[in-house]
Amino acid sequence: MATLQAVTGMNDLLPGDGQGARWQRLETTFRESCRRYGFAEVRTPLCEYVELFQRGVGETTDIVEKEMYTFEDRGGRRLALRPEGTASAVRAALEHSVLAREPVTRWFYVGPMYRAERPAKGRYREFFQVGVEVYGDGSPAVDAEVIDLAASFFRDLGLTQFKVRLNSIGGPETRARYRDALVAHFAPHRDSLSPESQARLERNPLRILDSKDPRDHGPREGAPSILDALTDDDRAHFERVQAFLTALGVPFVVDPTLVRGLDYYTRTVFEVVDTSGALGAQDTLCGGGRYDQLFTELGSAAPVPAFGFGAGIERLLLSAPAVDAAKPFRVAVVAAAKADESATLAGVLCLARELRAAGIETLVDTRFASMKSQMRRANDLAATVVLVLGGNEIASGMVSMKIMATGEQRSVARAALRDELAQVQRAATTTGAP
Ligand code: ATP
Ligand code: MG
């Protein structure tokens, strides 16, 4: 029988190599950043009706055209595993009339996303994103504040080598003007464009600027800049975003070719790219922007301005420096008894539970082989302290304590055990014992 394997492009995270701790630290740091900026968590289902992403992400995007995991459920409904978080969050906000209860909504999310892409370093078919969303505020201060949140989150993760790329792709009027200018620019180069870009020339020429196909790089040179097509209002908005970012001390570079892969963006778009080289071609850590038309696109009667970003956890971890996790304080309780001496073994289990209830990581080798083998297991699991409990200790209310780093061994009264352990723990952290 063939060995069973995980789906291509989807990863297991096993405990033991420190990765779990790094994931947890990242999530904790993100949640803490969100708390400071006044965001609350939203959780939405892993799958939605396909139509949500077709309308919300856009028919001509890479995601909808070729990356979605779609399937029919048993009732013949067309579903998709979510490829990103924004469409679902907006759907939830609309479905629950959230904006009828509060003028401005600040949400964050953490969870897996699914895209059928060619796997590479930093590019997977199941990957995880953290993201934030602001609904109901169209002011440029929101754009700056959310970009500031992203940058400060990255700094808190220990990232130093990253760059914020910023652009404005304007509103509908700007886009219509720019579209004409782009079509005029690309039309003479039509035959040298990639087949994909040729198809997009009429439908969505902006996306040609976003193409990763080398055939499109030449024709792109000398293309008109969208910044020249901005309406006065769009320009004023963009200038104020930049002024706020400067006041906040967030460094950024304006890149007029940045258009982002999703159709729903308006005005401000931004990306944070890794500049350390740790990520190779997949160097975009985070992408986001303003999407003032998404609510109406998804059926809202009134327009609702919105701004947000999504960042890939795997890429952030590839970019973040490894930090030495503090060595945990860990106690092992060993039975000085044979495997059939139930009373003593129960005493061991009870002592372990008592310590666990006090918040101490406590291990018991419940196979209860020889004392020697229990000691060896405690040593292999890097116990800081081993407690030995036999019939005599139980009868006398004592426990034998061995400090593994020094080999020191002494008898301790059960009543004093917690204080003794606290002392050992303090000593272990202050001397920085390896
Ligand atoms: P890319 O240009 O790398 O394909 P994208 O524009 O498709 O990225 P977004 O849809 O903006 O990416 O998603 C936001 C972030 O999610 C990305 O910046 C990246 O960190 C992460 N991300 C996107 N796709 C993947 C993937 N297949 N595997 C891992 N992370 C991903
Ligand atoms: Mg992509």
Find the mean pLDDT for residues 132-140: 98
The ranges of the chain annotated as CATH 3.40.50.800 are 330-431
pLDDT 10s digits, 7-53: 999 999 998 778 888 999 999 999 999 999 999 999 999 999 999 99
What amino acid occupies position 358? A
CA of 63 to the centre of ligand 2 (A): 7
The ranges of the chain annotated as CATH 3.30.930.10 are 19-171+231-319
pLDDT at 262 over 90: no
pLDDT value, residue 16: 77
Sign of the C-alpha dihedral, residues 50, 47, 287, 37?
positive
Report which bound ligand comes closest to the CA of 66: 2
With a 6 Å cutoff on the Cβ, whether 207 touches ligand 1 is no
Give me the CATH topology for the region 19-171+231-319: BirA Bifunctional Protein; domain 2 (3.30.930)
pLDDT value, residue 18: 81
Within 175-305, strands assigned E span 253-254, 266-274, 284-290
Q: Which atom of ligand 1 is nearest to the CA of 212?
A: 2
Choice from 129, 260, 272, 284 to test ligand 1 binding pocket (greatest atom count within 8 A of CB): 284
CA distances 157 to 61, 238, 373, 393, Å, are 31, 28, 41, 48
**Which CATH code fits 330-431?**
3.40.50.800
> CA–CA separation, 346 vs 363, rounded Å?
14
Please name the helix (run of DSSP H) or strand (run of DSSP E) that holds residue 97, with its range, or none.
none
With a 6 Å cutoff on the Cβ, whether 82 touches ligand 1 is no
pLDDT value, residue 434: 42
Find the mean pLDDT for residues 245-271: 90
With a 6 Å cutoff on the Cβ, whether 87 touches ligand 1 is no
With a 6 Å cutoff on the Cβ, whether 85 touches ligand 1 is no
Q: Which atom of ligand 1 is nearest to the CA of 125?
A: 27
CA 305 to chain centre: 24
With a 6 Å cutoff on the Cβ, whether 129 touches ligand 1 is yes
Q: CA angle at residue 213 from 207 to 219, to 5 degrees? A: 70
With a 6 Å cutoff on the Cβ, whether 269 touches ligand 1 is no
Confidence of residue 431 (pLDDT cuts 50, 70, 90): low
- Percent of the residues in the chain that have a pLDDT greater than 70, as a whole number: 98
pLDDT at 328 over 60: yes
With a 6 Å cutoff on the Cβ, whether 289 touches ligand 1 is no
Where would I find the H helices in 96-222? 98-101, 140-156, 172-186, 195-203, 217-220
pLDDT at 204 over 90: no
